[in-house]
Structure 1
Amino acid sequence: MDYEDAARKLIMYSRGVAKGAIGTAYGMSMGEDPVLEYLSRHEDGMSPSDLADKLGYTRPRMTRILDSLEAKSYVERIPDAKDRRRVIARCTEEGRRHAQDRQTDGVSSLAVTLSKMGEHDARELLKGLETAYSITYNKDDIFGGSKKH
């Protein structure tokens, strides 16, 4: 297998599928979506550095993403109650509603795509992506599921 050619195709296809499913129709960059989704499920919020580590972003990239989400009123930064030198990023109510709408739309769109692929191919795709994620970030599923390889 030509792994460089496969990598090029994976990049092109994954960008195309992601844009088609969750895209930028809501005025958000691709990097903002996972951050807003993650924060919307963690009411207490999280420090930007912990969030960057958890999601596999650099800290400067996380700062830019949080700046953008804060400007859209989807995220707020508040002083950490335990350590006033630290900041906690958390989702606003508007951000939670937006994340839920995007989640619903994205899941529906991808479910249609996966159903057209058929069960076997959909399972194989998910298995391959989980393996690639684990190798890339040396982490298990960020959504709390156990690995099933």
Structure 2
Amino acid sequence: MADLPVRRGGGGTPLAQRRARGFDPFERMQELMGLDPFEQVGRMLGTEQTWTFAPAFEVKETNDAYVFKADVPGVKEEDLEISLTGDRITISGKRENERQEDSDRFYAYERSFGSFSRSFTLPEGVDAEHCVADLKEGVLHLRLPKLPEVQPKRIQVGTSEAGKQGKVKA
């Protein structure tokens, strides 16, 4: 491979100029990956960036309950709060930022931290006394059973004798 000419005195291509001042390929990789420049400036100034942590929720209704699942990796059980008031359930919590040293050098920083709060309006008929919440492997499982009177009842189809007596199977 032939030797490439190098200009002295600050001239040359932008790449040559960056090499002359100590171009770091990892810095260029950061630029290309689309990291937030305001966050980088905040780090240089020593101010902490406020991030928003928004866990993903899955909410479904079964015959006997409303089931919530939320992806909350890194959230401790003591940092979660679940409250049910009337027909409104609120799930809130926080994921703490990890301690960073001044000597740390990040090439990618995509994890978010902070507090979150989500509220859902429920239909009537939730059995508030028997709600169950469980945090397992970074997933919050919340089960809100329905009161027996709002659960669907199966009506058995039978002979005309059963129909005359109006039997309903629970």
Please tell me the TM-score bracket, short chain as reference.
under 0.3
Q: TM-score, normalised by structure 1?
A: 0.22
- Compare the two structures and name the one with the higher helix fraction: 1
Q: TM-score, normalised by structure 2?
A: 0.20
- Compare the two structures and name the one with the higher strand fraction: 2
